[in-house]
Structure 1
Amino acid sequence: MAERLEQVWAAIDPQRLKQTLLEMIDIYSPSGKEEDIQLYLEGVLAQAGIHVVRQEVEEERYNLLATMGPEQPPLCFVGHVDTVAAWDIDDYAAKDEWGVVRGLGSADMKGGCAAMVEAWLALATLPEDRRPNIGLLLCVGEEENGDGSTRFLEEQQPEWVVIGEPTSMQPAFSHYGYLEMELQTRGRRTHSSLPELGHNAIESMLRVLLELDRSAIFKRQPGKLVYSIREMSSSRAGFVVPDSCEAMIDLHLAPDVRPAEVRSELEVILEKARQRIDELDLEVSFAYEADGYQLEQSGWLLEIFEEVYPRLNLPLTLLPFRSHSDGNLFYQAGCKPLVLGPGSLETAHTAEEQTSLAEVEAAARIYCAIALGLPTS
């Protein structure tokens, strides 16, 4: 591996990598509108002579697939090209300042995608008989419902996948589970000057949220269950007491906490809330749930990291990935998903989203090392 790795690392072009990242960020690609960035990436790979296959997800939406080697690859690098919607449509583009790149998707996860594409271009400089047997998936839809990865998994289930979500370059062998809960309260509308004649759905919702906050389920050991009230909205019709209110709650669960068990506990708490809160009209639904997972923190991948990280002057710390990602889907399908990518999760989905060019280049080098260190059967 050592000789091939040195050859591939020498083929990594930091300037080309920077250009790819900046151009990717400058292409607005929220979930559902990914075609422009897929056309761009298809062109980058095709220009290097790399055969790319479009995998249709729905009309005008498709994944991009590439493979190396003669067989079905046991390892696939996975990057999603979509982003959340821009905070300000006039201010999503890339900004490069002193080696720090800001802009929508810079961390989540165009930095990881750019690094994977650069690693692929470098690996493609090897003679065909010396290339690793790997795949590349540039998928759509991760920020919504994971329909791009779901479509891929209908046809392929590689043993290993490496997902370039932002982990500050720390390998995540474990991954949190996820539970999404929707709440709706209903009230009775009346003029806002006569609230005693109506029933305020917002007040009902606040009482429900307080019941949840006071419950034992949210007082677990720190890090076992993390919840966030992501959205809350109400009916808006002028100066009236609102007759409906909706809230969306995200629950991120440590790998050993099962979403189904948490859902059952929440249903009990909410049933008690119905009995305690006067005139409460509450509907509850669980829109999505996914189990977390814990991969074995040993073996060939860890050996690669222990060899390569010191060479790149990077600390090596194994931390779980705390957000939801397509990693949950791949694990449910029987794959072993490692999450590893440039940029920090802390800034993802915010106006301060950023990554560093140094991390993106390091990611490309580490992805090359993983590809070349893949055990052969």
Structure 2
Amino acid sequence: MIAPLEQVWNAIDPERLQRTLMEMIDIYSPSGKEEDIQLYLEEHLAATGIPVLRQEVEEERYNLISIMGKGEPSLYLVGHVDTVAAWDIDEYAAVEEWGVVRGLGAADMKGGCAAMVEAWLALATLPEVERPSLGLLLVVGEEENGDGSARFLQETVPEWVVIGEPTSMLPAFSHYGYMEVALTTQGRRTHSSLPELGHNAIESMLRVLLLLERLPLFDQEKGQLVYSIREMSSARAGFVVPDRCEAWIDLHLSPLLDPAVVRREVEKVIEKARSSIKGLALEVGFEFEAGGYQMDLKNSMVEILEDAYPRLNLPLNFVPFRSHSDGNLFFQAGSQPLILGPGSLETAHTAEEQTSLAEVEAAARVYTALALGHAGAGRKV
């Protein structure tokens, strides 16, 4: 026997949820330095009496795993507790105004994590025999290389995962792929007043980037690929012509675009650059790549959402997730990921990062509906 959905929704505490979110944002937890927030969450979850296990990723870095119900769960709620580094170490903390919470990680993804924790606390109020079989996984390292999720997947590959990345509460059963390309040009340093005697590495890099931009595959109006020059830096010492320039490029691939196809096209442009740009000395590294995916919308999770969303007056529109996330890792390992959480990518990683308390509360309710619905109950009350 599993309790009706409305009973669990009544156990969700909006004030506790807001407090959890604000306290989580106030704990600075950039990738690699997640221990403080994991200690906070561990204590928070331990109050339910359900065991919380540490899964070591490396020294002083660990995932948190908790399981309720009987047997190994086929559904996990998954959130990453790390953030990017603060844009201003004095201004990253939480500020709430008119139901909107601003602060580092508010959208990506402490809002989603707080909603999952609140959903967990609400479900934990049920007698043991009425709890769904469900796992909660709070991972480290997503903003860097996904080492927390990769560690978890070494031991466990659930059938389903719900990942609370910011989607403005629009479910994403399809996901963009991602590639990271590093370019380095070498030049010859001379005094800045005599550029004709040297070779400017920045000028070489700009010519390479212009060739890449003209690649038909990179036409952003066609929507196959999102191309972004993330970083560019050069040797800055002295009043000289720079002899080195580095650029990092992010490529977000539409769900069915194969990274191998993109890599081959980029390699063709690089060969063209080497033959057409005078004196070019160029190194290229394909530092990371992960394919996207597109799942069939005829599945049990969609049915649960079709029941829950009208009750919450939420629009049910299915969208692809345009950024990289641990969803790529889970899909490649054999899980079926649903990306769904409060907040939006538009403000994530910026000084204006924010999410609304209404969306965070709605997320907690949707997560409980998915947990109960997946367990075979809670669809009709």
**TM-score, length of structure 1 as denominator length:** 0.98
Q: How many residues in Structure 1 have an aligned counterpart in Structure 2?
A: 377
Distance 1:228 1:283 in 2: 19
Q: Which residue of 2 aligns with 1:251?
A: 251
Unpaired runs of 5+ residues, structure 2, are none
Q: Which residue of 2 aligns with 1:12?
A: 12
TM-superposed CA distance for 1:221, in Å, is 5.4
Q: Which residue of 1 aligns with 2:286?
A: 286
Deviations 1:330-360 (A, max 9, x none): 0010000110000011100000000000000
Deviations 1:246-287 (A, max 9, x none): 000000001110011100110011101110000000000100
Map of 1:1-377 to 2, 5 A cutoff? 4-219=4-219, 222-375=222-375
TM-superposed CA distance for 1:322, in Å, is 0.2
After alignment, is 236-245 or 165-174 more displaced?
236-245
Distance 1:223 1:304 in 2: 30
Which secondary structure state, in structure 2, belongs to the residue aligned with residue 32 of structure 1? coil
Distance 2:204 2:244 in 1: 9
TM-superposed CA distance for 1:98, in Å, is 0.4
Unpaired runs of 5+ residues, structure 1, are none
Which secondary structure state, in structure 2, belongs to the residue aligned with residue 250 of structure 1? strand
Deviations 1:158-192 (A, max 9, x none): 00000000000000000000111000000000111
TM-superposed CA distance for 1:70, in Å, is 2.1
TM-superposed CA distance for 1:307, in Å, is 1.3
**Same amino acid, percent of matched pairs:** 74
Tell me, yes or no, if the aligned pair for 2:177 and 2:255 is still in contact at 8 Å. yes
One-letter code aligned to 2:16: R
Tell me, yes or no, if the aligned pair for 2:176 and 2:253 is still in contact at 8 Å. yes
TM-superposed CA distance for 1:2, in Å, is 9.4
The runs of 4+ residues in structure 1 deviating greater than 4 Å are none
Distance 2:179 2:102 in 1: 30
Deviations 1:71-130 (A, max 9, x none): 111001100000000000000000000000000000000000000000000001111111
One-letter code aligned to 1:252: H
Distance 2:312 2:219 in 1: 40
Which secondary structure state, in structure 1, belongs to the residue aligned with residue 71 of structure 2? coil
After alignment, is 51-60 or 308-317 more displaced?
308-317
Which secondary structure state, in structure 2, belongs to the residue aligned with residue 240 of structure 1? coil
TM-superposed CA distance for 1:204, in Å, is 0.2
One-letter code aligned to 1:228: S
TM-superposed CA distance for 1:298, in Å, is 2.0
One-letter code aligned to 1:12: I
Distance 2:36 2:306 in 1: 38
Residues 135 and 178 (structure 1 numbering): CA distance in 2 closer, same or farther, change over 3 Å? same
Tell me, yes or no, if the aligned pair for 1:300 and 1:375 is still in contact at 8 Å. no
Which secondary structure state, in structure 2, belongs to the residue aligned with residue 82 of structure 1? coil
Distance 2:337 2:137 in 1: 13
